[in-house]
């Protein structure tokens, strides 16, 4: 990539004046404080995937009150939405141009551990909570949008009328996945670049993690049923013990990565459920195994699939049993594009400091359906640190997790810097 200053007029760097301007736009204006209030409302009203009706209505309310016309909001893929914020400046000769920014909307089917006394904005929905920070992701994107929509700061007038900032309000990231149906609906049509972020609970606030190439894993689910023949617990010799066979298969599955996958590749097979029988003295006729398979490379996945079939069926046959096996590929790997990753890294170093940006902990094998947006257009998915000021970090998908509000102004500033860079508008923050 060419010099960020010479080739682009410093688009991928932020001067001290730019950083001061961002601080005033996001924090001094009161937008960050409003976004924190919004985050607390969203945290108190979590909804599961494709049921984010209150969530979506609240975001639409915030945007329409700020000046987004109804015709700029498109409902798609059940509870997903696309919102286009179009510039109001003179049209550019090199237009149109569009940058997409994504947030996820859904919560998780978990009961929040904190009481109302401990957390005034705890979930009001029994058995559902924002345990992955999607409430904070939404609030961060809304903060950036509110800055753009504030006519008093003049930002939107600096954006040509044929340039667009597209907000992707994506449902059901936690499954079954809203990104793919959004792409199929056409949400990426006309988009030049796409960006998104996730909170990183173990990293200090004010740090960023980003890496080029594979960033998060491709995940698949495995369902296996072992068929033996049932019998009395006192006479295993007269039966084919499906539980015993399943245990041998599990042991074989867990040896595949260590024995068959090259040491420089990354993969994991985790058996997370074994279920058979209900009685103390009856050998059940079948046993069910559930597992996840995670990798970063299609060739590795092909190898894993081949070896899993061999281990399952050959082991079952060796003990006189029979196996049925299904492997379902879910989200593909998140693969960041080189140029857009360099943009994020450069802006992050300018905003947070050179030592605050790293690739520590990446790639990881957790899955994320932002991958579908990156398959459709160039872009980058990055992480922002959100460890608490005091105490040990509580990781995502824990019933004691809460998003760190200190991320919101940082994320909003990053989004505004990315808008400036992606739309090639060097004077946007002047």
Domain boundaries, the chain: 16-215+334-422, 218-329
Report the candidate in 164, 193, 155 with the shortest Cα–Cα distance to residue 96: 164
pLDDT at position 2: 36
pTM: 0.94
pLDDT at position 145: 99
* pLDDT tens figures, 112-169: 999 999 999 999 999 999 999 999 999 999 999 999 999 999 999 999 999 999 999 9
339 marked as part of a ligand binding site: no
CA distance 413 to 125: 32
pLDDT at position 391: 80
- Active-site positions read 106, 173
Across all residues in the chain, what is the average pLDDT? 97
pLDDT band at residue 8 using 50, 70 and 90 as cut-offs: low
On the 0-12 / 13-18 / 19+ scale of CB atoms within 10 A, 197 is: buried
HEC readout, the chain: CCCCCCCCCCCCCCCHHHHHHHHHHHHHCCHHHHHHHHHHHHHHCCCCCCCCHHHHHHHHHHHHHCCCCHHHEEEECCCEEEEEEECCECCCCCCCEEEEEEEECCCECCCCCCCCCCCCCCCCCCCCECCCCHHHHHHHHHHHHHHHHCHHHCCHHHCECCEEEEEEEECCCCCCCCHHHHHHHCCCCCCCEEEEEEEECCCCCCCEECCCEEEECEEEEEEEEEECECEECCCHHHCECHHHHHHHHHHHHHHHHHHHCCCCCCEEEEEEEEECCCCCCEECCEEEEEEEEEECCHHHHHHHHHHHHHHHHHHHHHCCCEEEEEEEECCCCEEECHHHHHHHHHHHHHHHCHHHEECCCCCCCCCCCCHHHHHHCCEEEEEEECCCCCCCCCCCCCCCCCCCCCHHHHHHHHHHHHHHHHCCCCCCCC
Q: What is the mean pLDDT of the segment spanning 183-194?
A: 99
pLDDT at position 429: 97
pLDDT band at residue 10 using 50, 70 and 90 as cut-offs: confident
Q: What is the mean pLDDT of the segment spanning 44-73?
A: 99
* pLDDT tens figures, 375-424: 999 999 999 999 998 889 999 999 999 999 999 999 999 999 999 999 99
174 marked as part of a ligand binding site: yes
* pLDDT tens figures, 338-376: 999 999 999 999 999 999 999 999 999 999 999 999 999
pLDDT band at residue 35 using 50, 70 and 90 as cut-offs: very high
CA distance 82 to 246: 47
43 marked as part of a ligand binding site: no
Structure tokens at 96: 């149109």
pLDDT at position 3: 35
Instruction: Tell whether the model's pLDDT for residue 197 goes beyond 60.
Output: yes
Instruction: Tell whether the model's pLDDT for residue 82 goes beyond 50.
Output: yes
Q: Is the dihedral of CA 369, 371, 375, 380 positive or negative?
A: positive
Instruction: Tell whether the model's pLDDT for residue 229 goes beyond 80.
Output: yes
Report the candidate in 259, 94, 299 with the shortest Cα–Cα distance to residue 192: 94
Instruction: Tell whether the model's pLDDT for residue 6 goes beyond 70.
Output: no
Name the phi and psi angles at 295, rounded to 5.
-155, 175
pLDDT at position 7: 47
* pLDDT tens figures, 260-274: 999 999 999 999 999
Task: Choose which CATH entry (3.40.50.720, 1.10.8.100, 1.25.40.10, 3.30.70.360) describes domain 218-329.
Answer: 3.30.70.360
Per the CATH hierarchy, to which homologous superfamily does domain 16-215+334-422 belong? Zn peptidases (3.40.630.10)
Residue of 200 and 7 predicted with greater confidence: 200
């Amino acid at each position: 990539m060419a010099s960020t200053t010479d080739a682009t007029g410093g688009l991928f760097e932020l001067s001290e004046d730019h950083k001061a301007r961002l601080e005033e736009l996001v924090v001094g204006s009161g937008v960050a404080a409003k976004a924190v209030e919004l985050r607390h409302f969203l945290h108190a009203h979590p909804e599961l995937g494709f049921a984010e009706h209150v969530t979506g209505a609240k975001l639409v309310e915030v945007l329409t009150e700020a000046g987004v016309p109804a015709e700029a909001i498109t409902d798609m893929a059940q509870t997903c939405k696309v919102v286009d914020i179009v510039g109001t400046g003179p049209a550019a000769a090199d237009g149109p141009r569009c940058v997409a920014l994504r947030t996820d909307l859904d919560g998780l089917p978990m009961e929040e551990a904190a009481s109302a006394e401990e957390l005034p904005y705890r979930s009001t929905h029994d058995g559902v909570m924002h345990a992955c920070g999607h409430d904070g992701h939404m609030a961060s994107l809304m903060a950036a949008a509110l800055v753009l929509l504030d006519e008093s700061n003049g930002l939107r007038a600096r954006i040509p009328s044929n340039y667009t900032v597209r907000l992707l309000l994506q449902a059901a990231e936690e499954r079954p996945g809203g990104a793919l149906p959004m792409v199929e609906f056409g949400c990426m049509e006309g988009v030049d670049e796409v960006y998104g972020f996730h909170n990183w609970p173990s990293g200090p606030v004010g740090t960023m993690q980003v890496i080029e190439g594979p960033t998060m894993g491709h995940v698949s689910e495995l369902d296996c049923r072992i068929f033996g023949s049932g019998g009395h617990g006192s006479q295993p010799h007269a039966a084919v013990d499906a539980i015993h066979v399943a245990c041998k298969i599990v042991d074989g599955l867990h040896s595949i990565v260590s024995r068959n996958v090259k040491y420089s590749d990354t993969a994991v097979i985790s058996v997370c459920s074994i279920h058979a029988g209900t009685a103390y003295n009856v050998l059940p006729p079948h046993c069910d195994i559930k597992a996840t398979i995670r990798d970063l490379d299609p060739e590795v996945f092909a190898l894993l699939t081949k070896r899993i079939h061999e281990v399952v069926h050959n082991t079952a046959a060796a003990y006189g049993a029979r196996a049925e096996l299904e492997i379902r590929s879910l989200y593909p790997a998140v693969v960041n594009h080189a140029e857009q990753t360099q943009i994020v890294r450069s802006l992050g170093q300018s905003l947070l400091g050179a030592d605050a940006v790293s690739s520590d902990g990446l790639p990881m094998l957790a899955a994320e359906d932002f991958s579908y947006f990156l398959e459709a257009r160039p872009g980058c998915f990055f992480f922002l640190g959100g460890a608490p000021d005091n105490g040990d970090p509580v990781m995502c998908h824990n019933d004691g997790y809460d998003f760190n509000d200190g991320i919101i102004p940082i994320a909003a500033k990053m989004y505004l810097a990315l808008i400036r860079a992606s739309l090639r508008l060097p004077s946007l923050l002047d």
